[in-house]
């Protein structure tokens, strides 16, 4: 029933640079395409269940500080959450294509983009800061300075060259740890004794035939 919806989700995920994406973000994008193309869209809860049950997708549930799924009934949407989503920050479960591997290079790019996105959001917040509120301005400046420092460190630590070197090193280590000795041959099975019955021995006793005299 919702095959077209799932196909669209697969297409959107394949074009996503982040690889691991919030389920709600995918649902929002699929909903937009459904309205444009005229196909039916399930509710967010049903969409989540569909992704979780489809073998094309790898579902990553969100967990609270105790390692348990958060209570959805206690979670209420707020204006702040809507604003964060408009900025590209989505909470909740995540999903990725099972066919896409998480190589060091992919992970490094993902971390860099997340930090860059945070810096861009903070820059926009600075431009929209309330006038005359020195305390808020000082807090924003402090956060901006710390994020900018983190951005430099992340770019240095997770540079493309370093991630490629790490990927090569991991592949080499994996290759070196593979067993080089051939597998031991299984011991040969002993031949079973023949089931044929032994032939009877020829008798060595000669039978004497009495000669009858002719009369």
Predicted TM-score (pTM) of this structure: 0.58
pLDDT of residue 162: 80
Distant-in-sequence, close-in-space partners of 50: CB < 8 Å, separation ≥ 6: 2, 5, 6, 42
Q: 184: helix, coil or strand? A: coil
Q: 177: helix, coil or strand? A: coil
pLDDT of residue 193: 56
8 A C-beta contact, residue 60 and residue 93: yes
Task: Please tell me the distance from the alpha carbon of residue 110 to that of residue 154, in angstroms, as a whole number.
Answer: 11
On the 0-12 / 13-18 / 19+ scale of CB atoms within 10 A, 37 is exposed
Could you tell me the pLDDT band of residue 215, with boundaries at 50, 70 and 90?
very low
Report residue 214 CA to chain centroid gap: 111
Task: Please tell me the distance from the alpha carbon of residue 135 to that of residue 149, in angstroms, as a whole number.
Answer: 22
pLDDT of residue 6: 94
Measuring CA to CA, which residue among 167, 61, 50 is closest to residue 104?
167
pLDDT of residue 47: 95
- With 70 as the cut, is the pLDDT of residue 209 above it? no
Q: What is the mean pLDDT of residues 103-110?
A: 82
Task: Please tell me the distance from the alpha carbon of residue 20 to that of residue 29, in angstroms, as a whole number.
Answer: 15
Task: Please tell me the distance from the alpha carbon of residue 167 to that of residue 163, in angstroms, as a whole number.
Answer: 6
Task: Please tell me the distance from the alpha carbon of residue 174 to that of residue 127, in angstroms, as a whole number.
Answer: 49
Q: What is the mean pLDDT of residues 82-107?
A: 84
From residue 19, give the alpha-carbon distance in Å to each of 42, 188, 207.
Answer: 23, 52, 100
pLDDT in tens, 144-188: 999 999 989 988 888 878 878 877 887 788 777 765 555 555 556
pLDDT in tens, 36-92: 998 999 999 999 999 999 999 999 888 666 666 666 554 555 666 777 777 777 888
On the 0-12 / 13-18 / 19+ scale of CB atoms within 10 A, 167 is middle
């Amino acid at each position: 029933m919702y095959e077209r919806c799932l196909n669209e989700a697969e297409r959107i995920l394949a074009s996503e640079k982040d690889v691991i994406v919030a389920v709600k973000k995918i649902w929002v994008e699929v909903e937009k395409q459904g309205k444009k193309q005229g196909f039916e869209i399930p509710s967010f809860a049903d969409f989540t269940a569909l992704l979780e049950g489809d073998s094309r997708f790898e579902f990553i549930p969100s967990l609270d500080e105790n390692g348990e799924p958060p209570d959805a009934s206690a979670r209420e949407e707020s204006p702040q959450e809507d604003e964060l989503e408009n900025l590209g920050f989505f909470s909740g479960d995540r999903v990725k294509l099972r066919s896409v591997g998480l190589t060091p290079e992919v992970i490094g790019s993902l971390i860099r983009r997340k930090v860059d996105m945070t810096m861009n959001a903070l820059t926009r917040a600075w431009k929209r800061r309330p006038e005359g509120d020195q305390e808020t301005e000082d807090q924003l400046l402090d956060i901006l300075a710390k994020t900018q420092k983190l951005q430099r460190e992340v770019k240095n630590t997770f540079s493309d060259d370093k991630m490629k070197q790490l990927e090569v090193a991991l592949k080499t280590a994996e290759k070196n740890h593979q067993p080089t000795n051939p597998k031991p041959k299984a011991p040969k099975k002993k031949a079973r004794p023949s089931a044929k019955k032994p032939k009877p021995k020829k008798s060595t006793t000669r039978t004497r035939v009495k000669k009858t005299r002719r009369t």
